[in-house]
Amino acid sequence: MEQKKISIRYSLLLFLAAFIWGVAFVAQSVGMDYMGPFTFNGVRFLIGGIVLLPVIWYRDKNGKEKEQEGSDRRELLRGGICCGVVLCVASLLQQIGIQYTTVGKAGFLTTLYIIIVPVCGIFLHKKIGAKIWTGAVIAVIGMYLLCISGEFSISRGDGYVLLCAVVFSGHILVVDYFSPKMDSIKLSCLQFLTSGIICTALALILEKPALSALLAGWMPILYAGVMSCGVAYTLQVVGQKKVEPTIASLLLSMESVVSVLAGWVLLGQKLSGRELFGCFLVFIAVILVQIPEKDVP
C-alpha cells in the first residue's frame, strides 16, 4: 500500500510537469506579441539553464550522483552541445509555428514525437510492431482532420510545428544516447545554455532585441524559462525515479490536452468539431503506442 502511495505521488509530479508544459504553449504564443522567436527562445533557455545551476550545486553539495564524479567532462560538454543544438532547431521551429497556428494544434502536433521516435527505430534496425503502425495511421487521419483545410493545404504554422515534432524526435534520440553516460540535470543545464547562446546570437543578428520588449514580455519569458525549462524538467527527473517509463511517457504526453484547454481558457482559441475530433484521434494514437505489449513465450 505504501509503495502504491509513493507511485501515485510521483505520478502526480509527472502530470504537473505535463501541465506546466501544456500551459507553456500559451506563454510562447503571448511572448510573440512582444518579441521575435529567436529573442524569446534565447532568453528563456538562458533562464532555464541558470535556474538549474542551484539544483546542480545542491546535488553536488549533498553527494548526489557520486557515480558521475569521475565522468569525462569533455563527454558531458559534447553531449550538452549536441543536445542543445538539436533542441535549438526544434524549439525555433515550434516558436515560429506558434505565430501562425493555435496553441491547441501546436500542442498536439508536437506530441507526435512519441509516435515518430519508434518509427525512426526502423533505421536503427529495430523491429516495429503492428501497434506502432496502427498508431501512425490513426495519427495521420487525426492530423488530416486537424490541419488540412478544405482546399487540401497545410497552414504555414502547422508545417513548422510538424517539422518541429520530427526534430524533437531526433532530440529525444540524442538525449537517449548521452543521458545514461552522465548526470542528466547537468546535461540538461548545458543543453539549455547552448541553445540559449545560439538563439541569442541569432536574435542579435536577425532581430536586434530591445530591452523595452523584454521588460514588456517579462511574464511569458519567466514562465517559459523558470517553469517550463527549470521546474518542469526537474519534476520529470524526480518523477521518473519511481514511475515505469511507459506510464511516465503517457502522463507527460498529457501536455497536448492541457495545451488545448489552456488555449481555450486563456486565449479564447476554439477548435471546430472536425478539429477537436482530429485532436481526439491524435491523442488516441499517442496512448496506443504507449501501451506495453505482452511478452509472447
Q: What is the pLDDT of residues 194-217, one digit of tens each?
A: 999 999 999 999 988 888 988 998
Between these two residues, 171 and 205, which has the higher pLDDT value?
A: 205
Quote the CA–CA distance of 88 and 168 in Å, as a whole number. Answer: 10
- pLDDT at position 171 over 60: yes
The predicted structure's pLDDT at residue 17: 86
DSSP letters for 25-68: HHHHHHHTTTS-HHHHHHHHHHHHHHHHHHHHHHHHHTTTTGGG
91-118 mean pLDDT: 80
Quote the CA–CA distance of 242 and 174 in Å, as a whole number. Answer: 23
> Cα 87 from chain centroid?
9
Q: Kindly tell me the sign of the dihedral angle through the C-alpha atoms of 172, 173, 175, 176.
A: positive
- Name the percent of the chain lying above pLDDT 90: 20
- pLDDT at position 67 over 50: no
The predicted structure's pLDDT at residue 148: 62
The predicted structure's pLDDT at residue 147: 62
- pLDDT at position 48 over 80: yes
Q: What is the pLDDT of residues 76-102, one digit of tens each?
A: 899 889 999 998 999 899 889 888 887
Q: What is the pLDDT of residues 5-39, one digit of tens each?
A: 556 777 788 888 888 988 888 888 888 889 999 99
- pLDDT at position 259 over 90: no
Between these two residues, 124 and 194, which has the higher pLDDT value?
A: 194
Q: 37-61 and 232-239 are packed helices; what angle lies between their axes, rounded to 10 degrees? A: 50
The predicted structure's pLDDT at residue 69: 47
The predicted structure's pLDDT at residue 70: 47
